[in-house]
């Protein structure tokens, strides 16, 4: 289906228009929200750093699967394939915490050893003390752990190409926009809503081809550590500076506010 970019006098950004054409997303509010998100990420210099951007918009699995950065319906373009029990709605995608995960087909070998970021916009306050990973990949031969978990036995933890524990932060609410960023072999930071919570020095080990799962972790090609926090945005990309992480939150929060699903 071809969508006219000049409907009602609106000329969309070409990358936003490519997403609309591929996905079939409709609705003025949805289109304007995505378009502004693209414009904001480009103006902040974040767009080029992303390998996968999942706006999780449209209310169905068929619409939630698309990678805004490369909207092709292929594994090579890192579109999502949902597995297990998910609830899809206008507010996001909610995994059931039992068997739900989404395969991104994107591993850290497609990014870098010493520069990487993960983000997850959670609309659910669910703190258990058990290990439940919102986005992750864990390889053990050799050890290469990359994940973002909002509540586990270590609290909010982010790792990127680690061979052990990553940077950990204490949180009392798992709602908001969480971003983990590695910018050097010994610099790995946790952000919540654009604010730096913890700066760590966990060193890198190796990258892994095993792809990230959303809603769980891909542990040696098996889904495990299932989470059940509703996702209203996620991304995988290069490392972000503190300023870029703050600006990223501004862009994503504006996007979700436009959709009236911000927390």
Domain at 104, CATH number:
2.60.120
Task: Give the pLDDT score at 2.
Answer: 43
Q: What is the pLDDT of residues 126-139, one digit of tens each?
A: 998 889 999 999 99
Mean per-residue pLDDT over the chain, rounded: 95
pLDDT value at position 3?
45
Under the banding of pLDDT at 50, 70 and 90, the label for residue 9 is low
- Does a structural domain hold residue 8? no
Would residue 6 count as lying in a domain? no
Reported confidence tier of residue 167, pLDDT bands at 50, 70, 90: very high
Cα angle: 27, vertex 32, 38; to 5 degrees? 130
3-state secondary structure the chain: CCCCCCHHHCCCCHHHHHHHHHHCCCCHHHHHHHHHHHHHHHHCCCHHHEEEEECCCCCCHHHHCCCCCCCCCCHHHCCCEEECCEEEECCEEEECCCCCEEECCCCHHHCCCCCEEEEEEECCCCCCCCCECCEEEEEECCEEEEEEECECCCCEEEEEEECCCCEEECCCCCCEEEEEEEEECCEEEEEECCEEEEEECCCCCCCCCCCCEECCEEECCEEECCCCCCEEEEEEECCCCHHHHHHHHHHHHHHHHHCCCCC
Beta bridge partners of 235: 53, 119
Range of the domain at 78: 49-258
pLDDT of amino acid 149: 96
Tell me how far apart the alpha carbons of residues 47 and 203 are, in angstroms, rounded to a whole number.
Answer: 26
68 found inside a domain:
yes
201 lies in some domain: yes
Q: How many structural domains compose the chain?
A: 1
pLDDT at 206 over 70: yes
The answer to whether 87 touches 70, Cβ cutoff 8 Å, is no
Q: Confirm whether 40 is domain-assigned.
A: no
Q: At 199, is the pLDDT very low, low, confident or very high (cuts 50, 70, 90)?
A: very high
* Confidence at residue 59, expressed as pLDDT on a 0 to 100 scale: 98
- At residue 221 the predicted structure's pLDDT band, cuts being 50, 70 and 90, is very high
Q: In this model, does residue 5 exceed pLDDT 70? A: no
Pairing of strands 156-162, 143-149: antiparallel
For residue 7, is pLDDT > 90? no
Kindly state whether residue 152 falls inside one of the protein's structural domains: yes
Q: Please say if the pLDDT value at position 91 is more than 70.
A: yes
- For residue 11, pLDDT over 70 is answered with yes
Instruction: Answer yes or no: is 78 within a domain.
Output: yes
In whole angstroms, what is the distance from residue 137 CA to residue 209 CA?
Answer: 9
């Amino acid at each position: 289906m071809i969508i006219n970019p000049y409907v009602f006098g609106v000329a969309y950004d070409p990358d936003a228009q490519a997403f609309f054409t591929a996905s079939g997303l409709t609705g003025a509010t949805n289109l304007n929200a995505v378009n502004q998100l693209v414009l904001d990420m480009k103006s902040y210099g974040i767009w080029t750093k992303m390998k996968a951007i999942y706006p999780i918009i449209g209310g169905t699995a068929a619409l939630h699967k698309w990678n805004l950065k490369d909207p092709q319906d292929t594994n090579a373009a890192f579109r999502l394939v949902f597995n297990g029990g998910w609830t899809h709605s206008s507010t996001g995608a909610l995994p059931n915490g039992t068997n739900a995960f989404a395969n991104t087909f994107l591993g850290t070998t497609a990014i870098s050893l010493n520069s990487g970021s993960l983000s997850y916009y959670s609309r659910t306050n669910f703190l258990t003390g058990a290990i439940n990973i919102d986005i992750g990949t864990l390889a053990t031969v050799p050890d290469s752990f990359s994940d973002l978990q909002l509540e586990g036995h270590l609290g909010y933890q982010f790792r990127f190409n680690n061979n052990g524990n990553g940077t950990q932060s204490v949180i009392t609410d798992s709602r908001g926009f969480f971003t983990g960023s590695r910018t050097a072999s010994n610099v790995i930071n946790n952000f919540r809503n654009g604010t730096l919570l913890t700066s760590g020095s966990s060193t890198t080990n190796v990258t892994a081809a095993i792809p990230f799962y959303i809603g769980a972790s891909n542990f040696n090609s098996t889904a495990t550590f299932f989470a059940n926090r509703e996702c209203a945005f996620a991304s995988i990309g290069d490392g972000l500076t503190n300023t870029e992480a703050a600006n990223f939150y501004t862009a994503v929060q504006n996007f979700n506010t436009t959709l009236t699903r911000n927390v």
